[in-house]
A and B are shown apart, each in its own frame.
Chain A
Amino acid sequence: MASHTHDHDHDHSTLSEMDIRVRALESLLTQKGYIDPAAIDRIIETYETEVGPHNGAQVVAKAWSEPDFKAWLLKDATAAIASLGFTGRQGEHMVAVENTPEQHNMVVCTLCSCYPWPILGLPPVWYKSAAYRSRAVLEPRKVLADFGVTLPESTRIRVWDSTAEVRYLVLPRRPAGTESLSQAELAQRVTRDAMIGTALA
């Protein structure tokens, strides 16, 4: 290992070690026939180019535009989301929770990093961080302040801790002044963080 030095222009000695470690692992598992490198490439490609928050944004924009779809989403999110083609790993059992003037919703996984992959892709580092996981359930209003979000003091905040295989989608409130926008235009307005509950739209 020592003979292999990385000459990066950033300070990441740990990353270099991990780089070597993961390369050795992938090579070993390939030799053993446990993995197919082409499948590894395809998994990465899927989450880099196909599955991400743009999927969830389509779900939200449709719910904002079509009352029947919204009712279905709130009643059976797994089926409603599957109707748009978004299914599978880490989104097998979905629940959608609607923000209202009275209640704001926010999602966390205090025990690990559970996250609705089919509609949001892979979680950002902050979602997996000790700071977010520890504080989201204890002082969500202060966590929201870290994100620059201030809610009226009277708004209830309900934090959903994803401790099972149920995955949560926050349905944000539709921003004012967007009545004339198409679903595609609305989808552009929906951010990843709004669907986690750490932003408003």
Chain B
Amino acid sequence: MNGVHDMGGQQGFGPVHIEKNEPLFHAEWESRAMAVTVAMGASGQWNIDLSRSARESLPPAVYLSSSYYEIWIRALEQLMLARGMVTPAELVSGQMTHAPIKVNRVLTRETVDAALKAGSPTERAIDQPALFKVGQQVRARNMHPQGHTRLPRYVRGHVGTIVHVHGGHVFPDGHTLHATPPFNVPVEWLYTVVFNGSTLWGEHSDPTVEVTVDAWESYLEAAA
């Protein structure tokens, strides 16, 4: 989706504000919001790409005017509402009036360390050979899917060079096709592609800049 979250190259947001001695959290609710979001991931009712999709599907004005943990909470609420895990009235009252649905897993004090240490690797075995190799020129496709994608707009249509071949990784666009488990889990080769800044930003841009993106195979086509 060509959403406001796709920020690369947008203008008008002003200078980067750097807070000296920034605290890890700016309010207690931020710490609870972070941890509740992480813990609810273990429920298995969505995957990381569905949660990213929920965040970037918030109304544009809401996305732009919310702090980052606020975006997380708003998206978490939407994910749970859409799956019948909570009701709007329950979210306001904080009181359960409807029975919970069955979830895959609930993190406990005993299991949380191992879960954080393990993470959720996305590399998978892949049978077909990679189409592209390091050094090869590729063009990022000019594509504008309605759904979730991880190909930023600012590289679409431009030619770059493969600098890494990472192996097979779960393909986010397809990973969001089924909203509830069992999920669709397509696997594609993942590459890092480097672009010259002047290719992306024009002849008057800084000639010393290069930008890389990580791109799945179907985002790319051979160039020349």
Listed in ascending order, the chain A residues whose CB lies under 8 Å from chain B are: 1, 12, 14-15, 18-19, 21-29, 31-36, 38-44, 46-48, 87-93, 95, 108, 110-113, 118, 121-122, 124-126, 128-141, 143, 146-147, 153-166
Contact = CB atoms under 8 A, between A and B. Distances in A.
Contacts, number: 280
A23 B94 contact: yes
B107 A35 contact: yes
Contact of B107 (A36, A112, A124): A36
Nearest to B108: A36
Contacts of A44: 31-32, 34-35
Contacts of B224: none
Given A39-B39, A147-B16, A156-B208, A32 B85 contact: yes
Given A18-B29, A42-B109, A132 B16 contact: yes
Contact of B86 (A28, A33, A154): A28
Given A22-B73, A39-B112, 13 more contacts: A15-B29, A40-B39, A88-B117, A110-B6, A110-B154, A121-B24, A125-B26, A130-B13, A135-B11, A146-B18, A158-B194, A160-B192, A166-B192
B210 A156 contact: yes
A166 B18 CA distance: 25
Interface residues of B, number: 94
Interface string B17-52: 111001010111101111110111001000010001
A111 B19 contact: no
A124 B19 contact: yes
Contacts of B109: 36, 38-39, 41-42
Contact of A29 (B40, B200, B206): B40
B111 to A, nearest CB: 8
A134 B6 CA distance: 8
Nearest to A192: B22
Given A22-B32, A90-B119, A93-B123, A135 B108 contact: no
B211 A92 contact: no
Contacts of B92: 1, 24
B93 interface: yes
Contacts of A124: 18-19, 22
B154 A33 contact: no
A141 to B, nearest CB: 6
B213 A161 contact: yes
Contacts of A36: 39, 106-109
B212 A160 contact: yes
A47 B24 contact: yes
